[in-house]
């Protein structure tokens, strides 16, 4: 029991630190990649390739004066950034990023906890993020944050539906809500495919059993809704600077602003990690004989950062879309498509179970 508690506490700290470090790295990566896509250098002053720039930014924000405007709702104003940040980190509690490792005779699973409703937990924490944004918009007592907060709540609530619906087919196929079990269901390849003509039967050995193979539409829907859910370009309407200054965090400065900023990037990493777990086989991938515990971790990180790169790439490319179009896309586009795909994939599953057993 004590061992369990100690291990859990250590895991909490390690995951917290790792997520924080990854976020700092992601911020740097984003600035660098967007800069190169715009033919600039990006941060290059602090450390090799400007790698410590986000660290320096963090330190600066930490020590900066916090200006709070008059007419704010004090309690809500202070609570909002915390409410934005905490769920973002909590969502990471159930994300498995590797198999077991054995340290000092203890078998440690590489996640903080394996909840049997892990997916539900991640989605719930994602929904809680709305509160931070709405409260920030309301408490600031100023028009731009209010408009940004309202937009954001409408947008996040709408896209949450599409986001969750696009995950349902995977849950139906996997038959579980535990993220670890969903990953375990995807490990390996299809092997020899019996119903193909003889000479090409071996091709199944090359195709991993990742859900993205059959659930590609769900994956695309999830990514589209995920970009909107994290309020990223091209769906970054809550902070559309041309019309709303900085949206809901206009009136925030110093460490409180840093919390919002951090929360946004933690969400990006969470969405990427969930996409990797649900569709891209989690830590499945190449295993080389040396350092056996490292490969699952590397696979997971590699896939997650590929998706993070996708987020950044989209941001550097696509212009922001109009608000009404965003809502039309969400309610008339993604949600019906997600529902339609759910029906289709459930049918496929039934037929598969009935005829191919």
Partner 1 sequence: MAEEERRPNRLSEEAWYPRSKTPLRRTRALTEKKIFAPMKPAIDVMLEIGEGVIASMKGLSLTLRHVFRRPVTIQYPEQRRDPFPRFKGRHVLDRHPDGLEKCIGCELCAGACPADAILVIGAENTPEERYAPGERYAKVYEINYLRCIFCGLCVEACPTEALVMSNAYDFSADSRDKFIFTKEELLVDAPLQIRDSKVVLRAGEEVGEYRVLKEGLARARRQEERRKEHEHTETED
Interacting residues with partner 1 (CB under 8 A): 33, 35-41, 313-314, 316-318
**In the complex, minimum distance from the CB of residue 162 to partner 1, in angstroms, rounded to a whole number:** 16
- Residue 183 or 221: which CB sits closer to partner 1? 221
d(CA 303, CA 295): 12
Q: Which is nearer to partner 1, 234 or 285 (CB)?
A: 234
Minimum distance from residue 314 beta carbon to partner 1 (Å) = 8
Determine the Cα–Cα distance for residues 303 and 198; give it in Å rounded to an integer: 33
Residue 319 C-beta: closest distance to partner 1, Å: 9
**Closer residue to partner 1, CB minimum distance, 232 or 249:** 232
β partners of residue 107: 102
Length of the chain in terms of residues written = 357
At residue 76, φ and ψ (nearest 5 deg) are: -70, -35
In angstroms, what is the minimal distance from the CB of 37 to partner 1?
4
Taking the least distance from each CB to partner 1, the nearer of 124 and 220 is: 220
**Closer to partner 1 at the Cβ: 39 or 102?**
39
- Residues 231 and 227: their CA atoms lie apart, in Å, by 6
Q: What is the CA radius of gyration of the chain?
A: 22
Query: CB of 318: closest distance to partner 1 in angstroms?
Result: 7
Smallest distance, partner 1 to C-beta of residue 222, A? 17
Give the nearer residue to partner 1 in terms of CB position, either 51 or 316.
316
In whole angstroms, the minimum distance from the beta carbon of 337 to partner 1 comes to 10
CB of 249 to partner 1, least distance (A): 27
- How far is 227 from 163, CA to CA, in rounded Å? 10
Query: C-beta of 36: minimal distance to partner 1 in Å?
Result: 5
Q: Which is nearer to partner 1, 325 or 352 (CB)?
A: 325
Nearer to partner 1, 204 or 234 (CB): 234
Instruction: Give me the least distance between CB of 145 and partner 1, in Å please.
Output: 31
∠ CA 126-129-130, nearest 5°, is: 115
Closest to partner 1 by CB, 204 vs 333, is 333
CB nearer to partner 1: give 3 or 318.
Answer: 318
């Amino acid at each position: 029991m004590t061992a369990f508690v100690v291990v859990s506490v250590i895991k909490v700290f390690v995951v917290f630190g790792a997520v924080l470090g990854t976020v700092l790295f992601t911020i740097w990566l984003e600035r660098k990649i967007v800069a190169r896509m715009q033919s600039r250098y990006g941060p290059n002053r602090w450390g090799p390739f400007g790698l410590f720039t986000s660290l320096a930014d963090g330190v600066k924000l930490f020590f900066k004066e916090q200006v709070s405007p008059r007419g704010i709702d004090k309690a809500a104003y202070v609570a909002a950034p915390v409410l934005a940040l905490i769920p973002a980190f909590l969502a990471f509690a159930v994300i498995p990023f590797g198999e077991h490792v054995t340290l000092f005779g203890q078998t440690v699973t590489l996640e903080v906890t394996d909840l049997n409703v892990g997916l539900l937990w991640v989605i719930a924490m994602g929904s809680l993020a709305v509160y931070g944004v709405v409260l920030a918009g309301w408490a600031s007592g100023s028009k731009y944050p209010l408009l940004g907060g309202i937009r954001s709540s409408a947008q996040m609530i709408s896209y949450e539906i599409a986001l969750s619906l696009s995950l349902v087919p995977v849950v139906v196929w996997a038959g579980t809500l535990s993220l670890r079990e969903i990953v375990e269901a995807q490990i390996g390849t299809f092997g020899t495919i019996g119903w193909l003509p003889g000479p090409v039967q071996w091709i199944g050995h090359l195709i991993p059993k990742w859900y993205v193979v059959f659930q590609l539409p769900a994956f695309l829907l999830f990514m589209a809704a995920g970009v909107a859910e994290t309020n990223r370009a091209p769906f970054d309407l809550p902070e559309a600077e041309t019309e709303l200054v900085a949206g809901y965090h206009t009136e925030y400065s110093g460490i409180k602003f840093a919390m919002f900023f951090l929360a946004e990037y933690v969400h990006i990493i969470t969405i990427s990690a969930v996409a990797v777990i649900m569709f891209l086989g989690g830590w499945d991938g190449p295993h080389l004989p040396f350092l056996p515990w490292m490969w699952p971790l590397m696979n997971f990180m590699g896939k997650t950062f590929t998706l993070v790169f996708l987020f950044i790439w989209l941001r550097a490319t696509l212009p922001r879309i109009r608000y009404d179009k965003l809502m039309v896309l969400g309610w008339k586009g993604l949600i019906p498509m997600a529902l339609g795909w759910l029906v289709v994939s459930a049918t496929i599953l039934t037929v598969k179970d009935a005829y191919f057993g």
